[in-house]
């Protein structure tokens, strides 16, 4: 398998967290809360740019739920601005904890507690492993953090902080306060318009964190008018919906699209491949400004999908569904997981060949990773196939279990080979749009996103991400609006069940 030369660039600041200095801090400032997204090592084979596409919506929502008499600051260690600020020193520190950066989250928690701050830990790892997190926190927020945060701050003010707070997702989603984006430095991200319309997913794949034991997140939707009003209020031409699956309820998505159309903005979202069951829905998405979808194909092997309990069309129909999105001017970013029990050494070449043949504009690769509390973790543990519990390596780029038809080394090398192949000049060119007019924009974004890790390090450190991306985004918006006018006037429907669409319209 020949490849273009691939220069691996892995600077220290992308693999080692900033130093927490052994220094005294001033007395904690009352009613001042610091919200921290901890550092995690970046995969040198993937794009560094994917870490600065949008800010953490979870922390922005926590900031939005902070009472008005509290000062709040957002700090993301992955923006390469150093360790969290200490002047003034916060009275309360909220840290989100994910499996792969749990150790760093604990270091931050211990460091701040030693200097007098009250530390609250929340996030997925707190949900799945509370006993592991508890020694590092004054309080744990388990479940719906936005619901719990005001209560926690009140209890801190009253001197009656509890060790654990447990929240449900039972409150109507429409009642949740809007995220606070004024705590951000706009230059840090491609767009600050990270949006969410619904949470939860109709799938319960056994490797997904949504299947974690004791994690019950019912599917809930915001009022469409709320979502549209929020997007309209943001001075951003491009938004990213962070929903697990924006297409879980097709009729909701259809109405959302119809109300988004007048904004004349562009957006992308994660949807499942069955969104293409109805070509008329894809048309509505395109007319509403959708320029890209993230689809979790996971595997091209139907036995793998069945074993993972993923509800999905047959893989032999994936190509037709990708074509429907492309005909509507929507780019496809496919997600693929390697290491399922039916994967053999040929899975890597087969997958990348399929990606190139179907001209997916982008793809994301993952090594199957058993998150604690998921059915996959329990199964592999019962079979004695877990190699270790070093959570630092549970990052989907390392093999942490014994695969059935591959060795751990084969799985890791195959994963790296896929990124090398996908980011090669030849692969980028093979996957160019079939319409020549769309090729320049695709090539510009592909090279910036996929082959510019040296540049990304500079852009992130100097807070230039937004400035560099915005002209490309504006150009993409202009092209899409022009295509949308043609698409609307022509009454084109992506190839598929046209008769079903005509029958529905006539009734």
The residues of the chain that CATH labels 3.80.30.20 are 185-490
Average pLDDT over the chain reads: 91
Secondary structure class of 40 (helix, strand, coil): coil
Mean pLDDT of 61-72: 97
Mean pLDDT of 245-263: 95
Q: Apex CA 496: angle with CA 495 and CA 500, to 5°?
A: 125
- What is the reported pLDDT for 434? 83
Mean pLDDT of 32-43: 97
Mean pLDDT of 339-354: 98
CB 28 within 8 A of CB 117: yes
More confident residue, 190 or 220: 190
CB 38 within 8 A of CB 101: yes
DSSP β-ladder status, 118-122 and 90-96: parallel
First to last CA, the chain: 54
Identity of the highest mean pLDDT range in 154-168, 170-184, 188-202:
154-168
Mean pLDDT of 480-484: 86
Which CATH superfamily includes the segment(s) 12-173? Response regulator (3.40.50.2300)
Cα distance between residue 237 and residue 473, in whole Å: 7
Mean pLDDT of 46-59: 93
pTM summary value:
0.91
More confident residue, 172 or 408: 408
- If we measure between CA atoms, which residue out of 267, 254, 126 comes closest to residue 194? 267
- What is the reported pLDDT for 496? 47
* DSSP labels, 373-421: TSHHHHHHHHTT-B----GGG-SSSS--B--SSS-HHHHHHHHHHHHHH
Instruction: Say if residue 433's pLDDT is above 70.
Output: yes
Q: Does domain 185-490 sit in CATH 3.40.50.300? A: no
Q: What is the pLDDT of residues 491-506, one digit of tens each?
A: 667 764 433 433 333 3
- What is the reported pLDDT for 212? 67
- What is the reported pLDDT for 489? 76
Q: What is the largest CA-CA distance in the chain?
A: 73
The residues of the chain that CATH labels 3.40.50.2300 are 12-173
């Amino acid at each position: 398998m020949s490849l273009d030369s691939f220069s691996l660039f892995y600077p220290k600041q992308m693999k080692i967290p900033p130093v927490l200095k052994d220094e005294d801090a001033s007395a904690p400032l009352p009613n001042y809360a610091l919200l921290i997204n901890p550092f995690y090592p970046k995969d040198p084979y993937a794009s560094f740019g994917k870490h600065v596409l949008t800010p953490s919506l979870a922390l922005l929502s926590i900031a939005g739920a902070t009472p008005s008499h509290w000062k709040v600051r957002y700090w993301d260690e992955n923006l390469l601005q150093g360790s969290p600020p200490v002047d003034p020193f916060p009275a309360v520190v909220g840290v989100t904890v994910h499996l792969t950066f749990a150790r760093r989250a604990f270091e931050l928690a211990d460091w701040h507690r030693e200097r007098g701050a009250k530390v609250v830990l929340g996030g997925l790892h707190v949900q799945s492993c509370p006993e592991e997190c508890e020694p590092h926190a004054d309080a744990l927020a388990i479940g719906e953090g936005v619901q719990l945060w005001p209560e926690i701050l009140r209890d801190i003010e009253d001197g009656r902080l509890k060790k654990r707070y447990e929240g449900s997702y039972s409150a109507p989603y429409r009642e949740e306060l809007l995220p606070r984006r004024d705590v951000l430095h706009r230059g840090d991200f491609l767009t600050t318009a990270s949006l969410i319309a619904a949470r939860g997913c109709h799938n319960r794949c056994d490797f997904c964190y949504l299947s974690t034991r004791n994690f019950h997140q019912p599917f809930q939707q915001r009022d469409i008018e709320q979502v549209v009003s929020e997007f309209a209020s943001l001075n951003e031409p491009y938004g990213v919906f962070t929903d697990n699956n924006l297409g879980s309820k097709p009729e909701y998505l259809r109405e959302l699209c119809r109300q988004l159309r007048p904004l004349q903005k562009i957006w992308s979202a994660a949807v499942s491949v069955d969104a293409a069951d109805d070509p008329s829905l894809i048309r509505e998405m395109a007319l509403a400004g959708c320029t890209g979808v993230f689809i979790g194909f996971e595997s091209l092997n139907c036995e793998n999908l069945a074993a993972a309990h993923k509800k999905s069309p047959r893989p032999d129909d994936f190509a037709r569904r990708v074509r429907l999105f492309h005909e509507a001017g929507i780019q496809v970013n496919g997600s693929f997981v390697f290491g399922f029990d039916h994967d053999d050494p040929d899975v890597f070449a087969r997958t990348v060949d399929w990606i190139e043949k179907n001209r997916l504009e982008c793809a994301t690769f993952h090594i199957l990773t058993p998150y604690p509390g998921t059915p996959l973790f329990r199964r592999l543990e019962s079979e004695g196939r877990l190699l270790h519990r070093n959570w630092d390596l549970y990052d989907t780029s390392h093999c942490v279990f014994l695969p059935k038809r591959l060795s751990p080394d084969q799985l890791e090398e195959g994963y790296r080979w896929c990124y090398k192949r996908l980011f090669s000049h030849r692969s980028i060119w093979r996957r160019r749009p079939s319409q020549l007019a769309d090729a320049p924009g695709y090539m510009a974004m592909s090279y910036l996103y996929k082959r510019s890790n040296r540049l990304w390090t500079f852009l992130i450190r100097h807070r230039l991400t937004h400035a560099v991306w915005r002209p490309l985004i504006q150009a993409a918006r202009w092209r899409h609006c022009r295509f949308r006018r043609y698409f609307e006037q022509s009454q084109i429907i992506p190839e598929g069940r046209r008769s079903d669409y005509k029958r529905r319209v006539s009734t």
